[in-house]
Every structure is written in structure tokens, then in C-alpha cells.
Structure 1
Amino acid sequence: MLLRTHRRTLLFGFLFLAVMLLAMAGNQAQLHAQSSAPGETVPPEPYQLFLSLISVNSGQTIPPQQPLVYSSLSVEGAPTDRPAEAHPDLNLSIRGYSATSGHLGLVNYGGDTDPQAPQIDGMFGPPRLPGFKTLFQVYDWDWACNPPDGCRGALISDYPVTLLEMTTTPGETISIPRRDPQIDAAGYRALVLYASERRLTITYTRRDSAAVGYLIHLEDFDVNPGLVALYRQLDAAGR
């Protein structure tokens, strides 16, 4: 899956909610992703959710993207209970974020790690770790407030940074974060949960939900038109 940047910066975030199978500190505040059961939420400990964000916006003229081939996959479990565009787990713009200060580099927070977590270097060709430019904190979502819609909560503060801006090359082609495990026998590694001309949300499972596994948000960039067209076709048919 290939993406296109239009300026020299890129935002990459990791929002800790309720799903990534990492045993981190046990005294974290309770953060939630929506459960697959109506009106319920996923228990916050010890699971977390990994999300990321790319943001590019410029008036530069970039050559059109080449056509690519995408396929459909059947999902496991029930589809999401609301449009993806209106879902705060699938549309990061509903949550929002705020700039913060800190170290512009990799930080070890301690705790166990997942050797199969999505890797930033795989977004670039050849693989590399880009420079970090700006740091942010993402807002939590309180599903217990005003059910079933929920309300935006406070900034997630369990970690100093949950979103960061990284430097890129204008017009650079970007792939989704690298992760080796396949999600089906055909070799696919990710499933699109939401796509528009400027936004893409993927998961590394076959579930139409943020409640299990890794979820990645890519924002404000040129999504390949063929991917957007196929997503809208399948979404209109009932996901």
C-alpha cells in the first residue's frame, strides 16, 4: 500500500487506548476503545491500541499517483456500529491533539515489547528512521459519557508524547508501517477500515474494530484513488 507526501514533514502518532498486547506500567489511567458489544468498552489493562498519523498539506504540484491493485477481504466478527467517518476510534480528527514539548528522538519507556509491532522504518524506501520535528498529545475518548456516542476526554498523559511530526521529502512515496505477520492465507498484512481522498485508517487484523490489535491512522495526504474507489464500493455494499 503506497501513499504520497506533499511537504517535508510527516506526523506519526501512537495513541494508547485499549488493545496492543504489551505489558506496560500497571498504574495507567483507564483509556478505552469501543467494545464489539453495544454500549460496552474494552478493559484497559493490560491492553493498548497503537495508532499513527501522517499529515501533509502543501500547494506544490506533485505528479499523479500510478494505478495500483487492491483486493477485498472478509472481516471477522460484526461490522462497526456506526459510519467510520463518525467513529472516534477510526477517525482521529474527532479526537484531536495538542502540541507539547520534549525530546525530539526515540525514548525508552520501559516495560515489555512486542517484536511484531508495526515499524516506522518500513514506511520509507529505503528503510530509515526520519528526523523528529514536533511533539503532540492526543485526546482520549470517554465512551461512558453520553452513550452511545461518548465524549472527548482529556489529553492522554500516561506518556509524554502520543503523536510526533517527522521530516520527509516532498512527493515521497510512503508505505504503511512494516509488520511481518499475515492476516490471511493470501499474504495480506493490513485491512482498510476507512478511506477518503485525504485520510486512511488501517488495522493489522481482519476485524472492523479498534478493539483488537494495532490500528494506524494516516491523515491529510493523497490516498491512492484506486484504494478510495474500492473502499467506497465495499462500504456502500455493507462493509
Structure 2
Amino acid sequence: MGLWPPAVADAASPTDAETVVLPGHRLFLPVVTRHTPGACPQQSQATFAAVPVQGPPSSRQAAQHPDLNLALRGYVPTSALLTLVDVDGPTDSDPPQLADLFSPPRLPPFTAAYQVYDWDWQCAPDGCRGAPIAFPPVTLLELAADPGEPLTVPDRATSIWTGHLKAMVLYAESRRITLAYTREDTAAVGYLVHLEGICVDVNLLALYRQLDSAGRTHLPALRGDEVLGTAADARFQVAIRDTGSFMDPRSRKDWWQGY
């Protein structure tokens, strides 16, 4: 593991209103956004660590992988309670806590709920977008934020590497990031958090792009209290997964313990 010095970020990614054609895919950026995101910071003094990836790298380019890049799936609004919910089933003693997105941790107002589209891996060599996931009823949650406020990594007790590193960046672009709570280059193992509509720190984004281009033998990693970016405006979205399955991000006993 080493600290990587600040680097100049690449050109900004397309806005949420655009559709970008990638080889073999049409990238569906969500059309449900009801507001224009604010400008993202173009400079940063932050430095970030990198850790070795455990096992082989992803067999697909991350930008074209629907388990890593949520824009490939997309999502649609749904009517649901915009409050914490109490769900049945076992409770993990150490899941990522979404209140830790904020410093100090807090329970923000929930402003909208969405259903992420499923992915059909059988319909074509690279699969294709399916219907919205019906269960659980909410798979992406919009949280209120103060425009420009720092956002930190949802924390848990378990580290993935020395130095209290808790999560590894599986995918990043200027306004979205995907975090894994293992060192494996897959969404199929452990917890995964998708953040949409944020401003990813430009140095973190530059490091991710550098390591992705170098073959993904190493990827950026973050501490539980580390700032990964800022709120682009007054709201952003979060999805959380467990061993590949999308979970309900409103679940009190899992992701909002103590609230």
C-alpha cells in the first residue's frame, strides 16, 4: 500500500442528461433527475491509498459492467415511505452505516425513492437491461444534503487492509462512485455501496483512472472517516448491495443502526 500524490483530473464525464454510446452498450444515464447538479470542485489537496486487488480483475471493463457502473442499469422513481423501515430477517453485526456519509453522522431527510433496473445476463453476450427490481420495493434512496458538504465513506468495524482502510473503489467517474467492502474486483462478494449525483474528489478520480488503465492489479482504498467527495447540490442517491443483491437502503436494523 502506498499514498498516491495528487494528480490532475481527466476531463469531466458527460452530464446526467446525456446518453453515451460505448462499445457494445448504450449507457442509460438516469432521466429521472429533477434538478441540475452544481459545479464540482476542480482542485483537491487530498491524497489516497491504493491496495492490491485480491484475485483476478474484472473480466469486463468497469465502465461497461452493469454491476459496477449503475448508469448502465438506470432506475425509475417509485412511491414508497420516505422513512426508515423495520424489515424482518437476520441482522449482520457489522454492515456499512449510511449515517457515516455525513460528518458528524446523521439521519438525513429522505427525499425520493427509486427502483434500480435488473440485469438479464442471458439475453445477449453482455446481457441487457431488465425490468425494475420489485423486491425489495426500494433499491435506491435519495438523501437530502447541504450543497458542497463533504461526504465520507460509510464506516464499519472490519478493515480490508492496514491503516484502517475500509472500502475499495471499484468504479468512479465525476458524479458517481462504487465502493466494495472487500479487496475483490466483483460485486458478488460482500457489501457494495453505489453513490450517485455526488462530486467525486478529483484526485481520487484521477488515481482510479490511472489504476484502472494499468490493469486493476491495485485500486484506490479509503478509510471509514475519509472524504471521498462532496454533495453536488441538495440531494444525492445511495444504493447498497449484499453479495450482489440490491437491499432496501431504508432498513433501520441494517444501515441506520441506532436511529
Q: Is the TM value for this pair above 0.5?
A: yes
The answer to which of 202-211 and 190-199 deviates more is 190-199
Q: Which residue of 1 aligns with 2:129?
A: 152
Q: Which residue of 1 aligns with 2:247?
A: none
1:233 CA drift (Å): 1.3
1:7-18 superposed matches below 5 A: none
- Aligned-residue RMSD, C-alpha: 1.9
Assess if the C-alpha contact under 8 Å between 2:155 and 2:166 holds in 1.
Answer: no
Unaligned runs of 5+ in 1: 1-54
Tell me how far apart the structure 1 counterparts of residues 120 and 82 of structure 2 sit (CA, whole Å). 29
1:29-178 superposed matches below 5 A: 58=36, 60=38, 66-147=44-125, 149-178=126-155
Q: Which residue of 2 aligns with 1:230?
A: 207
1:187 CA drift (Å): 2.2
Assess if the C-alpha contact under 8 Å between 1:57 and 1:221 holds in 2.
Answer: no
- Change over 3 Å in CA distance of 1:186–1:132 after alignment to 2: same
Q: Which residue of 1 aligns with 2:188?
A: 211
1:131 CA drift (Å): 0.4
C-alpha deviations, 1:157-206, integer Å up to 9, x for none?
12221111111111111112122210013321111111222221110100
Which amino acid is 2:159 matched to?
Q
Assess if the C-alpha contact under 8 Å between 2:166 and 2:181 holds in 1.
Answer: yes
C-alpha deviations, 1:117-151, integer Å up to 9, x for none?
1111101011101001111111111112213x011
Assess if the C-alpha contact under 8 Å between 1:56 and 1:219 holds in 2.
Answer: no
Q: Which residue of 2 aligns with 1:221?
A: 198
Tell me how far apart the structure 1 counterparts of residues 91 and 37 of structure 2 sit (CA, whole Å). 40
Bigger fraction of residues in strand? 2
Percent of aligned pairs sharing the same letter: 51
Which amino acid is 1:110 matched to?
D
Partner of 1:111: helix, strand, or coil? coil
Tell me how far apart the structure 2 counterparts of residues 61 and 93 of structure 1 sit (CA, whole Å). 20
Q: Which residue of 1 aligns with 2:175?
A: 198
Partner of 2:198: helix, strand, or coil? coil
Which amino acid is 1:118 matched to?
P
Tell me how far apart the structure 1 counterparts of residues 191 and 37 of structure 2 sit (CA, whole Å). 32
1:106 CA drift (Å): 0.6
Which amino acid is 2:103 matched to?
G
Assess if the C-alpha contact under 8 Å between 2:44 and 2:203 holds in 1.
Answer: no
Which amino acid is 2:104 matched to?
P
Q: What TM-score, normalized by structure 2, do the two folds share?
A: 0.66
Tell me how far apart the structure 2 counterparts of residues 60 and 215 of structure 1 sit (CA, whole Å). 26
Matched residue count: 184
Higher relative contact order (Cα pairs below 8 Å, separated by 6+ residues): 1
